[in-house]
């Protein structure tokens, strides 16, 4: 477990290389209350990776895919918000296995519904709002 204090959005840029390096499978399970900053965290990751698309919350779309280029190859970032998913069957209909096995970066908000489908080697991140709109990010 490692804890990072986030005082501004720019603080994410300093910790992103370490977070990405410590997640071999590339799948992040994001925990935090509504408004804790999960989507802001994903936006920061996308900025770091060079995503040029507008990054926003997948609350209504459930899955957002963002493209970037690495070493001349097109890569993807998948950002999922499973808050409104009510069953594993719904997640399967979204193509959850294909996304998890894509070898791309995957960030999942509200992942509890798909826990039975997970291998256990995903990285878990908890984001908490502390005083004065600061955040505490914990890599579990």
Beta bridge partners of 2: 139
* Regions in the chain scoring below 70 on pLDDT: none
Q: How many domains does the chain have?
A: 1
Which residues constitute the domain of residue 58? 2-139
pLDDT value of residue 97: 95
Contact 133, 4 (CB under 8 A): no
Pairwise CA distance, residues 57 & 127, whole Å: 16
In sequence order, which residues have a C-beta less than 8 Å from that of residue 121 and are 6 or more positions away? 24, 25, 27
> Is 0.85 topped by the overall pTM?
yes
CATH code for position 55: 3.40.50.300
What are the tens digits of pLDDT across the range 90-117?
999 999 999 999 999 999 999 999 999 9
- pLDDT, residue 131, reads 79
């Amino acid at each position: 477990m490692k804890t990072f204090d986030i005082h501004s959005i720019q603080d994410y840029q300093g910790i992103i290389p370490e977070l990405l390096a410590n997640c071999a499978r590339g799948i992040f399970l994001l925990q935090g209350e509504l408004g804790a900053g999960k989507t802001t965290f994903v936006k920061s990751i996308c900025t770091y990776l060079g995503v040029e698309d507008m990054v926003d919350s997948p609350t209504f779309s459930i899955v957002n895919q963002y493209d970037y280029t690495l070493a001349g190859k097109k890569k993807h970032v998948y950002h999922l918000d499973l808050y409104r998913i009510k069953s594993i069957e719904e997640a399967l209909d979204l193509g959850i296995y294909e996304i998890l096995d894509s070898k791309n970066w995957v960030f999942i908000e509200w992942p509890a519904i798909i826990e039975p489908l997970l291998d256990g080697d995903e990285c878990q991140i908890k984001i908490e709002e502390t005083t004065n709109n600061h955040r505490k990010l914990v890599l579990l």
